[in-house]
Structure 1
Amino acid sequence: MQTLTSPGPTTRILSTREPSAIEQTGLDLSFISDLALKAIYYQNAITAQALSDLLCLPYFNVVERALAQLKRDEMIEVTGSQGFGELAYQFQTTPKGSARAQELVERNSYVGPAPVPLQAFKEMVERQSIRTTRVTPSQVRRATADLIFDDAVLDAIGQAVNTGRSMFLFGESGNGKTALAERVAQMLGGHVLIPHAILVDGHIIKMLDLQHHEPIPAANGRTDYDRRWVLCKRPTVMVGGELTLASLDLVYDPVSKVYEAPLQMKAINGMFLIDDFGRQQIRPADLLNRWIVPLEKSVDFLTLHTGKKIEIPFDELIVFSTNLQPKDLVDEAFLRRIQNKVRIGNPTVNQFREIFRRQCEELGVPFDQQGLVYLLREYYVKPKRPLRSCHPRDILRTLVGIARYLDQPPTLSQELIDRACNTYFVDF
């Protein structure tokens, strides 16, 4: 069996070998023939090699048999050759084949990599489950080396990741909850196989999404494994206030008659971050009602446009991030289902100083202890303003912009600090 291995916290077998016969694809000969016919029809003329590459299926014993079937049925014909051998033969549809292709397009217009059966997808998800991923304290520290947090917070994050289930990050706005959640994706590490598409009861669900999936080019250059799967970094899907209940179900295109996988399905074997939880267009209770079964049973149920429900594995780390109080969003029963609750508090003075120093270094502003003391005294101690982790970055960026406007080097002078703070802070 030819395999790929995944570097990262856990090394494991990730691939299936290239199918050497129709039966090993999990698809019927008629399905592959129909898909090939649509591809030839759309391309007008295509070689056997190009068709094999388009369908991500081997030519010999698979695409070869589909083409033979189409030729016997007088759906296609050989119109020339682009070189030597069978793979160079060029095919076009006959009038009979064009009519048949138009009928098939009416059913669905999908042309591309052949889908994998739903059962094969479920088995692959199980093999590369997020729940077998382990992170260590040293890996957590490496992933968060550019952030300033208490060790207790970092340990709580690491422990939560190792459960492979759900996490609730809460605390005041601007203290790094989103940045910390993004580092969780780095902690997970490793690679997973994502199918281009999935076949469910004759319906096609497009799965691979380059907005959320990052392929590994070197590995995907290989041809000794099933090319219907793409080796990618563990996925990270992040959503905010735009999240709706509709985006958590299959998206059906009535024109192409093809489905798009919902967001949580694209996050399988990875992380799904719901940022600014409680700010969505839907009520938190409605959203969490949608998650009851997935959080409890590790399965999700999606609905086809025919009304039929299909069962999909729910194997991902769900992270809720909010600056609202959890008790104001959900009741105790829901909080129980979110196993890990981590409060991200305000930074201490020493932490604020280190964040400020690092930001000075990053933005090219000479660090000056007296300038920082002035900032803390005038804009935090006197007005009794709480410290926030985002303030050093924001204030210094504003200060740099002001210095550029005044055509002078950025420094932590009282004048520049006053100008920056007077435009940044708003006291009602």
Structure 2
Amino acid sequence: MLKLSTDETQTLPTIDELDSDQLAPRPKTIEQTGIHESVLLELILKHLLSGGVLTKAELVSYMGITGGIIQGLLDSAKQLAWVENRQSTSDGQMRYALSHGGEEFAKQASAKSGYKGLVPIPISQYSEICCKQSSRRNSITFEMLQNGLKSLVLPNELLHKIGPALNSSRPVLIYGPPGTGKSYLCRNLNLTLGDSVLIPYAISIGNEIIQVYDPQLHHKVGETDLNSQLDLVRGHDPRWIKCKRPLRITGGELNADMLEVQFDSHSRTYMAPIQLKANNGILLLDDLGRQKISAKQLFNRWIIPMEERRDFLSLQSGEHFEIPFELILLFSTNLNPNELVDDAFLRRLGYKIHFDALDEPLYRKIWFQVCEEKGLRCSEEMFQYLLTDFHALFEKPLIPCYPRDLLGIMSDQISFMQLKSEVTKSLIVEAWSIYFVS
């Protein structure tokens, strides 16, 4: 957790302090799941079709609902002659398998929808809990931001612009020359938020299911004891995964399809768009202006979400539905914003923060910080030589990425030539000639 100051031990509120048990209580009946019994029956049959012979405990872990609800579904399936009892395990657990009729029905269900995971969350419940978990429920202060980004060297005036932007509901445009730390900063902003949220494994719109949880994006906080899902009392609804606030980064690969719900005809499953996966976190669109979708198309698509904090999506069937647009939306570019979009769109962005070259004291701080990280000695004489004979002479601004890049080349040279771990004039000359194009 993040300290608010060097002498305080307070931490940012987490989802535990919101009481996840109350926020997403464990359902005890089919009705409390919010999902129609027919959808639950299809899902349990698909799990049995895939698993062959399963115990109730295994079905609990696969579907994320309590043993009592599973037993009710098994009883209904047996009445319909879809499920049969099989020989118990050595420890006395009953085992279940599909009948011939159940197998045929399960194949028909799989042909309609290939989804096979935890029981989904109804869209209404998702929208409610997503809004309650907004990162804006607690304002970020200067001390929080400073402590969260303490590993970065940033001018205080820049922090005074970034902090209010994070507290705002408006999108943020960060622009400036390449190498000034725009993307690097955005990748570290989640450290300031610092808390965890509940992410649904999947959501349902009527009988259709969209998987939201992405293990590459959503990083679990702690491990869930699947056996505890038999417990009707303790813990939150296991269909929600406790995770760090997501940070979704997309760059030149972004296209229009990634902003919409996609149906994979091979797996017969729906895939959530990037903004749905990034809800309750940060969505960074890096290198704005270099995507496969133009900046103008992108802003036209997101006019309503950016202003009203809600988005409208549709399924393959044409059914439309609404989701919260509850995220911190960041745009980063090294292009001129006025050349990307017109003034009307720039006004909608709310915050425009310019990144530029550093002054000498901050550049010095980064230089010697990187020297320490790489185990290199550098005298004041060599640092001044770099500034006067190279930066000043060649009119190269003091860009934050230069120390790490130049010293990295020097470190490589030292390893190759088996030299002393010390910055010298010859190393500076060599690194500069390699790094910069004449």
Q: Which of 203, 206, 221 is 2:208 aligned to? A: 203
Q: Separation in 1 of the partners of 2:139 and 2:223?
A: 25
Query: What does 1:75-94 correspond to in 2, within 5 Å?
Result: 75-84=82-91, 88-94=93-99
Q: Structure 2 length normalisation: TM-score? A: 0.92
The partner residue of 2:138 within 133, 139, 143 is 133
Say if 2:243 is the partner of 1:232: yes
- Name the aligned partner's letter for residue 44 of structure 1: G
- Partners of 1:208 and 1:356 lie apart in 2 by 40
Equivalence for 2:126: 121
Correspondence list, 1:145-224, <5 A? 145-218=150-223, 223=229, 224=235
Q: How does 1:316-355 map to 2 (within 5 A)?
A: 316-355=327-366
1:3 maps to which residue? none
Deviation of the 1:153 alpha carbon: 0.4
Matched, 1:68 2:75: yes
Give per-residue Cα distances to partners, 1:336-375, cap 9 Å, x unaligned.
Answer: 1111111111101111111101000001111211111111
Q: List gaps (5 residues or longer) in structure 1.
A: 1-6
**2: CA distance between counterparts of 1:41 and 1:281?**
41
Q: Describe the SS at the equivalent of 2:189.
A: helix
The alpha-carbon distance between structure 1 residues 9 and 137, as it changes in their structure 2 partners (threshold 3 A), is: farther
Using structure 1 for the length normalisation, give the TM-score: 0.95
Aligned partner of 2:12 in structure 1 is 8
Paired residues for 1:40-51 under 5 Å: 40-51=48-59
Deviations 1:163-222 (A, max 9, x none): 143111111110111111122111122111011111112111000001111111246776
CA distance in 2, matches of 1:83, 1:59: 19
Aligned residues of 2:248 and 2:282 also touching (Cα < 8 A): yes
Looking at structure 2, the residues matched to 196 and 308 of structure 1 have their Cα atoms a distance apart, in angstroms, of 21
Task: Give the CA deviation at 1:84.
Answer: 5.0
Amino acid across the alignment from 1:137 = F
Of 381, 385, 390, the residue aligned with 1:379 is: 390
Paired amino acid for 1:379: F
Alignment of 1:200-349 (within 5 A): 200-218=205-223, 223=229, 224-349=235-360
How far 1:255 sits from its partner (Å)?
2.5
Residue type at the aligned position of 1:403: I
Note if contact 1:115-1:196 (Cα within 8 Å) is conserved in structure 2. Answer: yes
Instruction: Please say if residues 399 and 410 of structure 1, whose CA atoms lie closer than 8 Å, have aligned partners that are also in contact.
Output: no
Over 3 Å counting, the alpha-carbon distance change for 1:164 and 1:131 in structure 2 is: farther
Unaligned runs of 5+ in 2: 1-10, 230-234
Query: Partners in 1 of 2:292 and 2:62 — Cα distance?
Result: 40
Distance in 2 of aligned mates of 1:306 and 1:355: 55
CA distance, structure 2, for counterparts of residue 412 and residue 67 of structure 1: 72
Superposed CA deviations along residues 26-52 of structure 1, whole A, max 9, x for unmatched, are 012222111111111111110011011
Tell me which amino acid in the other structure corresponds to 2:70.
Answer: V
For residues 92 and 311 of structure 1, the distance between their equivalents in structure 2, rounded to whole angstroms, comes to 38
Per-residue Cα deviation, 1:120-172 (whole angstroms, up to 9, x for no partner): 10011111112213211111111121212211101111111111431111111
Q: Structure 1 CA distance, aligned partners of 2:132 and 2:391?
A: 52
Asked if residue 420 in structure 1 is aligned to residue 431 in structure 2, the reply is: yes
Structure 2 counterpart of 1:389, from 379, 397, 400: 400
